[in-house]
Amino acid sequence: MPEKGAYIAIDWGTTNRRVHLVAASGRALRSERDDRGVLAMEPTDYPAAIADVRERFGTLPILAAGMIGSNRGWVDVPYVDLPTGFAALAEAVVCPEESVFLIPGVARRQRDRADVMRGEEVQVLGAIAADMAPGDGHFCQPGTHNKWVVTDAGRIVDFATTMTGELFALLKAQGTLAGMLNAPVCDGPAFREGLARGTTCRDLSAQLFGVRAGVLLETIAPEDAASYASGVLIGADVRAQSDSSAGRIHLIAQGTLATLYAAAFAAAGMRVVAIDSDAAFLAGVHGIWEKLQ
């Protein structure tokens, strides 16, 4: 007899949404992705959107994580504080309607730097629960905002958000480097040269202006500028955030960013453990689902 759905897990982000029908075993039976992210929704749109999901996937409990629980989403779900694990997240879920559980994000309230995340915590804890990573690990989740997470004994004990992806997008869209960064970024000699520069420099902002100067002085080919600049940014990010003494980094990513960051870590002499973000998310939601039973 085929497995039947026990609940619906939704990774509800800023621009995209992934919906998974999940069996009691935690196995995904069906997955869909669309662009109905938080930015495409008004707060009042969610009840109808939830009804629509249930019509397509079944009248089942729904567990959702990510920006849906932010002040730009459906309801603002209070963050849980560091250190945290499945039990604390499950205790702090908020139900805006019956059998809809919004998983909270995590806040870092240390004096040296405030930080927040919503959604990435589920992937990290899921990767550990599914034995894709050890309980004490270092994690990198690249995106518009990269999350760098440290765990100990299966709990998240620290994290940092870097704006690497957003900085690249801002520089590409406006200002001095605009028009220079339109080529697709790929892992080639220009990216590697940027990486080497970003990993060793202590003046990121000067190296970024150096992209413009290099194109003007013809030491950087115009078609290489985007990959070189991306290498500088990613190299500086890896240098600042990765604890090279850890030796091993768990990279939760997909697509081009997975390739680029894997290259950056390898260049920095670190061993990369690649983890699929959908698989990690599903394992994380399942860990919380089990706590809710």
* Cβ 47 vs Cβ 100: under 8 Å: no
Interaction between residue 169 and its own copies (CB under 8 A)? yes
**At residue 252, what is the residue type?**
I
Enter the tokens of residue 77.
């779900």
State which residue, 71 or 293, has the beta carbon closest to its own copies.
Answer: 71
Interaction between residue 39 and its own copies (CB under 8 A)? no
Distances (CA, A) of 234 to 77, 183, 197, 198, 280: 32, 17, 10, 7, 23
How far is Cα 269 from Cα 256, in angstroms, rounded to an integer? 20
Which one of residues 87, 173, 186, 221 is an interface residue with its own copies (CB under 8 A)? 173
Helix, coil or strand: residue 179: coil
Interaction between residue 230 and its own copies (CB under 8 A)? no
State which residue, 54 or 145, has the beta carbon closest to its own copies.
Answer: 145
8-state DSSP, 281: H
Among the listed ranges 1-9, 20-28, 119-127, 234-242, the one in contact with its own copies (CB under 8 A) is: 234-242
Residue with tokens 């991306």: 230
Shortest gap between Cβ of 157 and its own copies (angstroms)? 16
Interaction between residue 108 and its own copies (CB under 8 A)? yes
Neighbours of 78 (CB within 10 A): 11
* Cβ 137 vs Cβ 80: under 8 Å: no
Helix, coil or strand: residue 199: helix
How far is Cα 161 from Cα 122, in angstroms, rounded to an integer? 16
Bridge-based pairing state of the strands 115-117 and 138-141: unpaired
Interaction between residue 245 and its own copies (CB under 8 A)? no
> How many residues sit in the footprint of its own copies (CB under 8 A)?
47
Interaction between residue 197 and its own copies (CB under 8 A)? yes
Interaction between residue 168 and its own copies (CB under 8 A)? no
Binding-residue pattern over the window 48 to 87 for its own copies, x denoting contact by CB under 8 A: -----------------------x-------x--------
Residues forming contacts to its own copies in the complex (CB under 8 A) are 71, 79, 107-109, 112-116, 145, 148, 160-164, 166-167, 169-171, 173-176, 197, 201-210, 213-214, 216-217, 219-220, 236-237, 240-241
